[in-house]
Amino acid sequence: MKAYVFPGQGSQFSGMGKELYDSNPLARVYFEKANEILGFRITEIMFYGTDEELKQTKVTQPAVFIHSVVSALTLEEGFDPQMVAGHSLGELSALTASGALTFEDGLKLVYKRALAMQSACEIQKSTMAAIIALPDETVESICKEITEQGNLVVAANYNCPGQIVISGTEEGVAQACEALKAAGAKRALTLNVGGAFHSPLMQPAKEELEKAIRETTFHTPRCPIYQNVDAQPHTNPEEIKENLVAQLTSPVRWTASVMRMINDGATEFTECGPGTVLQGTIKKITAAIAKP
């Protein structure tokens, strides 16, 4: 079975989408439509912007969404998904590509999400860090202890076996990194992100996004989408909306999502969007499943 996966924030790079824009007339129509919907030429930032410009949440999220959805809808072999999933922001790309949202509604939601998250980031200094080579349970336990001491930090992205991202206040993440290295983590690397995504610190953004989601028409997607919050397949528009709202303050259960897709028959994964980060995680998840 064919599965299509869509990356999230962090996969962006300067020049993203330019080759597609130059070579594919249909892609060019979508890119220009995106400029019109947003009211500014985001393609100029995507094609020629600096890394610093592209790192702004309000630019990154719509840029990755546009590139991902257009990549899927202009595939030479056609886009014929039997299941889809997206990592964080990528969930909205997956929903749009699979027909649950129109391109216009999907992009408008992504932009509102990006602005809401950027505003939430400005309320309190916060960050994220990647933890390498520790069991999930150890990371969860140490984060819980530090949070109980007054500095919020939680497990945010379960990317693949041995790679988990934590999220919280700057103090909480710094404290957790030290404790996790002491517990045997091979690396504890603070990420260059705008704030504590997928943590309780995103509550203000969640409330804002919920209103926008309620006002948007969702359709039944053409195939199941495996959502971040529960790693389960969904086609019911109301369930999809509830899970999208919950996603902002809940962890991304990517490892469990990929494992469930494989259990449900996925034999081929195609990544739609900038980079190949998700393909790397899928290889590690597949290798972990194959171990006796």
Residues 205, 240 within the same domain: yes
Average pLDDT over residues 134-163: 97
**What DSSP element (H or E) covers 64?**
helix 57-73
In angstroms, rounded to a whole number, what is the distance separating the alpha carbons of residues 176 and 139?
9
The alpha carbon of residue 289 and the mean position of all alpha carbons in its chain are separated, in whole angstroms, by 23
pLDDT at position 258: 98
Q: How many CA atoms lie within 13 A of 126 on its CB side?
A: 24
Residues 9, 28 within the same domain: yes
Residues 98, 19 within the same domain: yes
pLDDT at position 212: 94
Residues 240, 108 within the same domain: yes
Residue 207 placed within a domain: yes
Choosing from 190, 219, 249, the residue where a domain stops is: 190
Residues 141, 281 within the same domain: no
Residue 195 placed within a domain: no
Residues 145, 256 within the same domain: no
In sequence order, what E strands does the chain have? 2-6, 83-86, 126-132, 153-160, 163-169, 187-190, 225-226, 233-234, 268-271
Indicate whether 144 pLDDT > 70.
yes
pLDDT band at 9 (very low <50, low <70, confident <90, very high): confident
Q: Which residue has the tokens 């006796």?
A: 292
In angstroms, rounded to a whole number, what is the distance separating the alpha carbons of residues 235 and 95?
10
In angstroms, rounded to a whole number, what is the distance separating the alpha carbons of residues 178 and 111?
35
50-55-253 Cα angle (round to 5): 145
Residue 39 placed within a domain: yes
Residues 141, 22 within the same domain: no
pTM: 0.95
Indicate whether 186 pLDDT > 80.
yes
Residue 218 placed within a domain: yes
Are residues 187 and 132 in contact, defined by beta-carbon separation less than 8 angstroms? yes
CATH number at residue 144: 3.30.70.250
pLDDT band at 291 (very low <50, low <70, confident <90, very high): low
Choosing from 190, 218, 239, the residue where a domain stops is: 190
In angstroms, rounded to a whole number, what is the distance separating the alpha carbons of residues 34 and 107?
7
What positions carry a catalytic annotation?
Answer: 88, 198
Choosing from 157, 190, 223, the residue where a domain stops is: 190
Of 8-12, 45-49, 134-138, 277-281, the range with the lowest mean pLDDT is: 8-12
- Strands 83-86 and 225-226 come out as parallel
Residues 108, 225 within the same domain: yes
Residues 112, 127 within the same domain: no
Look up the domain containing 282 and give its range: 2-121+200-290
Q: How many residues does the chain have?
A: 292
Percent above pLDDT 90 for the chain: 90
Residues 6+ apart with CB under 8 A from 150: none
pLDDT at position 216: 96
Sheet strands side by side (includes 153-160) = 153-160, 163-169, 126-132, 187-190
The alpha carbon of residue 254 and the mean position of all alpha carbons in its chain are separated, in whole angstroms, by 10
pLDDT at position 207: 92
**What DSSP element (H or E) covers 262?**
helix 254-263
Residues 139, 102 within the same domain: no
- Annotate 8-23 with DSSP letters as a single string: -TT---TTTTHHHHHH
Residue 269 placed within a domain: yes
In angstroms, rounded to a whole number, what is the distance separating the alpha carbons of residues 138 and 144?
10
Residues 64, 108 within the same domain: yes
CATH number at residue 104: 3.40.366.10
Are residues 245 and 267 in contact, defined by beta-carbon separation less than 8 angstroms? no
- Strands 126-132 and 187-190 come out as antiparallel
Residue 175 placed within a domain: yes
Helices (H) then strands (E): counts for the chain: 13, 9
pLDDT in tens, 63-92: 999 999 999 999 999 999 999 999 999 999
Q: How many structural domains compose the chain? A: 2
pLDDT band at 57 (very low <50, low <70, confident <90, very high): confident
Residues 231, 186 within the same domain: no
Are residues 138 and 168 in contact, defined by beta-carbon separation less than 8 angstroms? no
